[in-house]
Amino acid sequence: MKSEAKKFFAEAAWVQGAWAKDVLLTVAGNGAWHSVEPNATAQQQEGATRLSGPVLPGLVNAHSHAFQRAMAGLTERRSAGAHASDDFWSWRDRMYTAANRITPEQLEAIAGQLYAELLAGGYTQVCDFHYLHNDISGAPYANPIEMSLALVRAAQRTGIGLTLLPTLYMRSGFKATGLREDQRRFSSTPESVMRMVEDIQRQTRGDARINAGVAVHSLRAASPAAIHELTGAAKAAGLPVHIHIAEQTQEVDDCLAHTGQRPIEWLLNHADVDARWNLVHATHATPAELQGVQGKGASIVICPATEANLGDGVFDLPAYAAAGGKWSIGSDSHVTRSWPEELRLLEYSQRLTLRQRNIAARILEQESSAAGLFEAALAGGLPATGQMQGGLVPGHRADFVTVDMESPALLGVPPGHALDALVFSSPGVAFGEVFVAGDQAMAPELAEVFRRAMRELWLN
């Protein structure tokens, strides 16, 4: 797709976990980093594009349901009835209302707005956990990847990288034999998921920003045999695997009642979990389970804003850090679309629980909480996407953002504290330019098509 090398110069850049000065960044013709050279001389800087501010690597958003961007702010009123209570399960029923209305055209509009916002929020790749496979009646589209292609077009239009994860969804619960009526759009099989992957790969061949993996919605949504079949095919193809797990206490209780084991415990004992696996949420995990995840080489995807919004609970980051576990960050239902907000909430949830400060700095053995959180989330990008993404490193994809030091949150902050203030001084997004695979992402103005899609969904 690319043919010419490019050179950039930054007065400061985040290299190998610290700020480096006068950094010359060279992008190879394939969109990957060719070289990263701190302390570049004036002669070396000649011919390089001078960047507008300090440079950070782009971060992977490892868990997204793009269509749920249409719900942000619309589920924050209590359920009707004197004794009604609101929890994850009542929110899920409201989510199904949106899921059963959205057309491919509306999904493209919603995803386009979302992806532009994610770029502005410092993300350069998004993993879309995609289960809206069928039409509104539940029947397959003439083109089985009709809805998937809506996400692909939105990604290509905005310039963000996309890891598309067609999702296995076969039943409504552990004891069910099929799906509920309001889940009919989600229906898939191991065979259909792998066909979707192959079709997506064929349609996007030659685009370095887009790839595919697979997802299993949850243990309750597929039989052990189906999970084994899909993940075995994914392993043979070298694909990343994602799965929702242990998000809710009811899910844990149901799994115990049905299998005699907790969800993560069952998965570790019965699935071929390895370094390609990404366990989404894992909110209700025991220390032994977290050690088991680390022992398998798998990663966890933490979604702090959504987990807070849905009342899921607080992930046990200290226990997972003690086990040496790998993790990434995701924005899931998109109540926020900025990684500084996600990392801030992750740290603050730990502080509220433990009544201490700078938890991440201590448990991740860093001087700075922001640096510890950012480095861990950055490293989680490779297992989440299955691509070489994880920093300003030769051979990795050349994704980066510039930091606007004139933004209110950073105004007057000493340069060495820029990352700390970016995470812990709010509000305000403080990014300038965004580059994906060495090209500047110039997201078009999509507000009007998004507004039209929202009117069609909620006002008609």
Tell me which amino acid residue 362 is: R
Cα dihedral sign, 430-307-130-231 = positive
Q: In which residue are the tokens 């990343």 written?
A: 240
On the CB side of 230, how many CA atoms lie within 13 Å of its CA?
A: 33
Active site residue 281: yes
SS3 letters for 17-86? CEEEEEEEEEECCCCEEEEEECCCCHHHHCCCEECCCCEEECEEEEEECHHHHHHCCCCCCCCCCCCCCC
Task: At 62, give phi and psi (nearest 5°).
Answer: -85, 0
Render 286-318 in DSSP notation, one character per residue: -HHHHHHHHHHT-EEEE-HHHHHHTT-----HH
Return the structure tokens found at 160: 């963000």
CA 302 to chain centre: 9
Residue 8 CB burial class (10 angstroms; 0-12, 13-18, ≥19): buried
Quick check: helix, strand or coil at residue 326?
A: strand
CB 207 within 8 A of CB 1: yes
DSSP, res 185: G
CB 218 within 8 A of CB 282: no
Catalytic residue among 63, 244, 281, 396: 281
Active site residue 130: no
Catalytic residue among 312, 316, 332, 404: 332
Q: Please state, in angstroms and rounded to a whole number, the distance separating the CA atoms of residues 189 and 359.
A: 42
Q: Which residues are catalytic?
A: 281, 332
